[in-house]
Structure 1
Amino acid sequence: MSVKVVDLLVVGAGPAGLAAALEAKRHGLEPVVVDENGLPGGQIYRSVSRSPLADPRVLGPDYLRGRGLVDAFTSAGIAYWPQTLAWQIGADKRVSVTRQGAGGGTLQIEAGAIVLASGAQERPFPIPGWTLPGVMGVGAAQTLLKASALVPDSPAVLAGCGPLLYLFAWQLINAGVPVRAILDTAMASGRRDALRHAGGALRAPSYLMKGLKLLRAIRAAGVQHVKHVEALRVLGTEHAEGVEYVVGGRTECVDASLVLLHQGVIPNTQVTRSIGCAHTWDDAQLCWHPTTDAWGETSLSGIFVAGDGAGIAGALAAEPSGRLAALQAAVKLGKLDAAKRDSRALSLRRELSVHTAIRPFLDALYRPAEAFRVPADDSTIVCRCEEVTAGDVRRMAGLGCVGPNQTKSFSRCGMGPCQGRFCGLTVAELLANVQGCAVPEVGYYRIRPPIKPVTLGELAAAVEGPDILNERAGFPK
């Protein structure tokens, strides 16, 4: 396998990765950015430079803001490898990457430092019926809108909690797509708990105003908006036919052939887990995140995490997060002295503090209820890949299974194509619930490479010859 030596490898071309690469370039490094997508921007700015929408303004000003960042990146002369999967990353900073698609190849990169900008993923939402055709995540539906201009052909029901639930409802309304109902599962106690963090929220008034704007637009569109939903069930046998929900002790039902679920996002920790980075349980956000210092450096020297992969803070916070990581990488690689780093970091830390001030407020307001994280119904599927139910996990716990890794031996839970991404958190919380202990005591899956599936053909198509970035191998110069 051919080897490429680089100063700084950035994995992910979302706001954190793009900002990190630009900052690194500014201080004399020659970064290489690899990304699975075909265009830079990540999820939040997906396809912003080449939108398929007739009028991208339907997605809102926050989305359009990303065009400036993407344009700055594409004009900076930074090596960018789209449709490239980093499927194995070692603590020694040796990385195996594969160019996807026809003509792709595989090579290994030796990096002086690595910035991981793998972003976030939607939190699992295991309710009865969530595996039926016609049910999908709000994030997935938003991706279809941004990347392919695909919109629902029938009114959708959006259920769950979190800012993205309301943002996407607003985007659908702007695109002329009717929304049948919003079923908000945020706990009634969330508003009271959030008020304790009102001081921080007032430091970021633009976030509060944006939320009020979305709510006003949704109300003006006449969308049914049900708050404090206590239970949810998607109805149907072969496909989604409706949603049954409980509010105020009453059981109600709404017809729908498309149900979009969302209860917040969590850091995508598959990569950092596979490398062996230390992780910390965040009880405020109810998720794991890699343990990092003030520069985003993990427990492994020279490996950084920036953006939502280090803890959910949003796209605007991701940019200064990526730049801070690049500054410290430049110091470690001898391109910048500590005094200049600290001087540059002052404004970045101020910017970051503004965008993170709102997080405790939002985390409390939209804290997902246990009823929607730990299924009470034993027949509810938890691991979609291997069709393992909540009852199966509880029975395994009763037999002495003390952690998620043992569930693999008992049931193959976590061994499917997603490699535990969409069941790991639920399995851990179920086991902790049965055992009467905290989630950190239960732990998480051991993640092994390949981080995502690769074909034997892709592995066999190892790049050969002195010019490893040739067109035949699929790696752009």
Structure 2
Amino acid sequence: MTDAPRTHCELAIVGGGPAGLAAAALAAELGVETILFDEQPTPGGQIYRNIEANSRKHDALSNILGADYAKGLALVERFRRSGAAYEPLSAVWQISAAGKLGVSQKGRAYLTRAGRVILATGAMERPVPIPGWTLPGVMGAGAAQTLMKASGLVPEEPTVIAGSGPLAYLVALQVMKAGAPLSAVIDTSQKGLFETGFAALPVLSGFGRDLLKGLSWMAALRKARIPVFSGRNLAVEGISRVEAVSFETRGKRQRLPASLLLLHEGVVPNNQITASLRCRHVWDTAQMAWRPWTDEWGATSTELVAVAGDGAGISGARAAAHRGRLAALDAACRIGRISRAERDERALPERRHLQREARFRAFLDSTYRPTEAVRRLADEAIACRCEEVTAGELRAFVAEGFTDINQLKSFSRCGMGQCQGRMCGGTVARVLAQSLETDIETVGYYRLRLPVKPLPVAQLAELGNAERDLRPSPMGVDGDPSQRV
């Protein structure tokens, strides 16, 4: 990290997860002047968070997090060797269509310009707005996993994990191996992991190891006598904090005491920046989420901006690295470091790997649809936790005639809080669509405005280079240096 803000570069990459690391390493190796902006203190993103420090410890945590987590070290090491510049603890709060980036770092905001931008902002856990989900003691399963990776923190109180998909079982296994008091797992999937895994074995040839891995998690929980329930219609009980979780199973309502509830209904693309840029977005019916439209190289409808990894559609860590390298190859070609022929040839193995990963992803998307995340919300369930607006209040606004999602935002204040709609955008759209008896694709999404991340007014007031004519990078649309940005 440099002391003076960088005012220009050929390629700016936002996000230090597998897609960002792979893109930055390859682009730098090809001679592209590359800067990776990362909100975290060290590279790795959410999935490989703190991988460098944890890999050196060789303690119990390494065994708990497993071999898949350890694989992230190779990505980080290649990035470190590549010569790409690294700017940690840097929040990107603005990107313009002309390639201008607003960055907040160490309490100071500044502007820089890039000839091309690759967004590798990854995914975020899908909010699960069940009754009581804002009580202290309720958090995402992925958030609990992040605490383990970052600080070695594990739950100390009776814990229940509820949700759909393999990650819920992985976190349950990790929590159990860490010695935490895991009380139960509530599987909200239509079919359990054990049943779907065995059914898929003859169909998904080449993925037997992945499927058996998931089945082994389930077997380990059973061996430890951790109860696993099939549940629906979750609700959190408690006054000042979570005291229990209730759910329907086999036609009856059941209640489990708990001091900590970890929820997980899959992940969705983190597309705040592309939405603020007015990039074209499409509704992914398989993943039940909005994602930016991209071409085969990750390029968006905004000329200078590409998206790699889960930010362009959930594909997993392995696929994210391949997509990052494809975006880097295209950037190097546009800038003029490699020819189109070389770009296309280098892309062939990446595309083969992606085709393979796409088969497994299609299986996961169809099998573990987020049932709790699409169920009609109870009127008392909080839809927007920043402004504490309930689903019932939203329905009342709709009944009064507020049938546009941005109207609803203006009059309810949903999406105007600190998260800027990250936690409530999909939920508000879902309530509106159900109230109007239409689909979310028709309803659309919030019209987002800058900044996309909370930024102190003092930093904006002291923006040192706001009036400076930032030198453009010599990159043309097709890599012709004569075409200036």
**Matched position secondary structure for 1:209:** helix
Instruction: Give the deviation of 1:302 after TM superposition.
Output: 2.5
Q: CA deviation at 1:168?
A: 0.7
1:337-391 Cα deviation digits (max 9, x unpaired): 111111100001111122221111111111012x543443101110000011011
Contact 2:9 2:35 in 1 (8 A): yes
Partner of 1:472: none
| 2:293 aligned partner, one-letter code | T
**One-letter amino acid of the counterpart of residue 382, structure 2:** I
For residue 414 of structure 1, what is the aligned residue in structure 2? 415
Structure 1 residues 193-202 or 14-23, which shifts more? 193-202
SS at match of 1:246: strand
Counterparts of 1:196 and 1:181 in 2: how far apart (Å)?
25
Alpha-carbon deviation of 1:10? Answer: 0.3
Corresponding residue for 1:113?
116
Task: Report if aligned partners of 1:194, 1:364 keep a CA contact under 8 Å in 2.
Answer: no
Distance 2:193 2:222 in 1: 21
1:383 matched to which residue of 2?
A: 384
Q: Quick one: distance in 1 between partners of 2:209 and 2:458? A: 50
2:51: which partner in 1?
48
TM-aligned CA distance change 1:213 to 1:24, over 3 Å: same
* Whole-angstrom CA distance in 1 between matches of 2:244 and 2:384: 23
CA distance in 1 between partners of 2:290 and 2:391 (Å): 21
> C-alpha separation between the residues in 1 aligned to 2:102 and 2:238?
44
The answer to whether the aligner puts 1:35 opposite 2:38 as a matched pair is: yes
One-letter code aligned to 2:438: C
Structure 2 letter corresponding to 1:27: L
Task: Output aligned runs, 1:130-145, within 5 Å.
Answer: 130-145=133-148
| Deviations 1:152-173 (CA, angstroms, capped at 9, x unpaired) | 1112100111221111111112
Secondary structure in 2 matching 1:33: strand
TM-score scaled by structure 1? 0.92
SS at match of 2:300: coil
Residue 176 of structure 1 and its aligned partner are, at CA, apart by 1.7
Aligned to 1:471: none
Distance 1:193 1:435 in 2: 35
Say if 1:241 and 1:255, in contact at 8 Å, map to a contact too: yes
TM-score (norm. length: structure 2): 0.91
CA RMSD of aligned residues (A): 2.3
Partner secondary structure for residue 213 of structure 1: helix
Correspondent of 1:70 among 70, 73, 76: 76
* 2: CA distance, partners of 1:297 / 1:463: 31
Structure 1 match to 2:296:
294
Counterparts of 1:161-240 in structure 2, within 5 Å, are 161-188=164-191, 201-227=204-230, 229-240=231-242
Query: Is the Cα contact below 8 Å between 1:133 and 1:240 reproduced in 2?
Result: yes
Q: Is the 8 A contact 1:302 1:332 kept in 2?
A: no
- Please report how far the alpha carbon of residue 196 of structure 1 lies from its aligned counterpart in structure 2 after TM superposition: 10
Q: Which has the larger displacement, 395-404 or 144-153?
A: 395-404
- What is the match of residue 440 of structure 2? 439
Tell me what 2:477 maps to: none
Q: What's the CA shift for 1:243?
A: 0.8
8 Å Cα contact 1:274/1:447 also seen in 2: yes
The residue that corresponds to 2:404 in the other structure is 403
Partner amino acid, structure 2, of 1:349: R
Partner of 1:358: 360
How many matched pairs?
A: 462
Question: Partner amino acid for 2:216?
Answer: K
Question: What is the Cα deviation at residue 146 of structure 1?
Answer: 0.8
| Identity %, equivalent residues | 46
| Structure-2 separation of matches of 1:202 and 1:215 | 21
Tell me by how many angstroms 1:36 deviates: 0.6
CA distance in 2, matches of 1:442, 1:291: 18
Aligned residue type for 2:318: L
Structure 1: 5+ residue stretches without partners? 469-477
Distance between the aligned counterparts of 2:209 and 2:297, measured in 1? 26
SS at match of 1:241: strand
Q: Distance in 2 between matches of 1:226 and 1:197?
A: 22
**Deviation (angstroms), 1:256:** 0.5
1:198 CA drift (Å): 7.1
- Give the Cα–Cα distance (whole angstroms) in 1 for the partners of residues 58 and 262 of structure 2: 21
Deviations 1:65-94, CA, capped at 9 Å, x for gaps: 111111221222210000001100011111
1:106 CA displacement: 2.1
Secondary structure, aligned partner of 1:422: coil
Q: Cα deviation per residue 1:49-68 (whole Å; 9 max; x = unaligned)? A: 01388432210101011111
Q: What one-letter code is carried by the residue in structure 1 that aligns with 2:141?
A: V
1:197-216: per-residue Cα shift (whole Å, max 9, x none)? Answer: 87763343232122112111
Q: Measure the CA separation in 1 of the matches of 2:135 and 2:434.
A: 26
Contact 1:195–1:361 under 8 Å retained in 2:
no
Equivalent pair of 2:194/2:215 in contact (CA under 8 Å): no
What residue is the counterpart of 1:57 in the other structure?
63
Q: 2:84 aligned with 1:83, yes or no?
A: no
Query: 1:157, 1:216 → 2: CA distance?
Result: 18
Partner in structure 1 of residue 313 of structure 2? 311
